[in-house]
Amino acid sequence: MSVKAKIGPSILNADLANLAAESKKLLDNGADYLHLDVMDGNFVPNLTFGHPMVKSLRNKIKTAFFETHMMVQNPEQWISPMADAGVNLYTFHIEPVDDVYKVSRLIQEAGMQVGLAIKPGTKVADLEKYISIADVVLVMTVEPGFGGQSFMADMMPKVEWLRQNYPNLDIEVDGGVGPKTIECCAKSGANMIVSGTAVVGATDQRQVIKDMRDVVQSYLK
Ligand code: DX5
Ligand code: ZN
């Protein structure tokens, strides 16, 4: 299997007034990438930040891999500014999008990788026809909108199905993932792990990140 275990902390519940410092700390402590949660108050009932903040962060952190998790009603609208802000992986929800192929193509043309996300209520079958154009598939393990929610173990059949059918696909999970739930994700076949509160709030971030990556890697061998 060629996929690798990667831990991408979500900075949603970090001190956003000190985002650069919080992000650097996470990267120094072994984070493989940063997962930046963009919410528009429309697709989800919450509001976070947009491309100006991502661009400011990029100015301070030159090399890290940035994923933006676009919890927005119209992901097409933000492709160009997010590419300009230095985003590497543009992950959007398929639910509100009419033409997933078109949005994916525009993301690629803007020089970013394509991530396709599904909410808990969306079947993996709804995503299947798009898998060939995706660099990453994100299976939400909470209802998107807020950090610190409880992990939904009943999403694991989606991950299992994806891993069985697509052994080389990057499969990401997001929501309620931490030391207590990592085994479940790893066993099911997820290899990209988003973790917010469990990492950001840990007294030993380095240890938590390493332990989770080790568990995921052990199932990929
Ligand atoms: C939820 C976000 C997640 C969330 C993860 O809408 O997409 O990235 O912040 O945070 P935890 O790990 O605390 O659930
Ligand atoms: Zn997220």
Angle at 12 between CA 11 and CA 18, to 5 degrees: 60
Consecutive H or E run containing 44: none
Q: Does residue 99 carry a catalytic annotation?
A: no
Does 1 have pLDDT greater than 90? no
Residue 46 CB–ligand 1 contact under 6 Å: no
pLDDT digits (tens, 9 = 90+) for 24-36: 999 999 999 999 9
Is residue 121 domain-resident? yes
CATH number of the domain encompassing residue 194: 3.20.20.70
As given in the structure block, the two tokens for residue 115 are: 């991530």
The active-site residue, picked from 40, 135, 170, 174, is 174
By the 10 Å C-beta count (0-12 exposed, 13-18 middle, 19+ buried), 156 is classed as buried
Query: What is the DSSP-derived secondary structure letter of residue 149?
Result: P
pTM, entire model: 0.98
Q: Check the annotation: does 41 bind a ligand.
A: no
Atom of ligand 1 nearest to the CA of 144: 6
Is residue 150 domain-resident? yes
As given in the structure block, the two tokens for residue 91 are: 């992950």
Residue 37 CB–ligand 1 contact under 6 Å: yes
Alpha carbon of residue 119 to chain centroid: 12
Mean pLDDT of 107-134: 98
Residue with the two structure tokens 């519940």: 13
Is residue 125 domain-resident? yes
Is residue 1 domain-resident? no
Q: Check the annotation: does 197 bind a ligand.
A: yes
Q: Does residue 37 carry a catalytic annotation?
A: yes
Angle at 150 between CA 210 and CA 53, to 5 degrees: 70
Alpha carbon of residue 24 to chain centroid: 18
How many Å is the maximal CA-CA distance in the chain?
44
* Per-residue model confidence (pLDDT) at position 118: 99
Mean pLDDT of 191-212: 98
Is residue 93 domain-resident? yes
d(CA 194, CA 173): 6
pLDDT digits (tens, 9 = 90+) for 208-217: 999 999 999 9
Cα-based distances in Å from 73 to 23, 97, 100, 118, 151: 27, 8, 13, 13, 24
Is residue 37 domain-resident? yes
d(CA 91, CA 99): 15
Ligand with an atom nearest the CA of residue 201: 1
pLDDT digits (tens, 9 = 90+) for 37-59: 999 999 999 999 999 999 999 99
Does 2 have pLDDT greater than 90? no
How many domains does the chain divide into? 1
Task: For residue 130, give its domain range.
Answer: 6-219
Is residue 198 domain-resident? yes
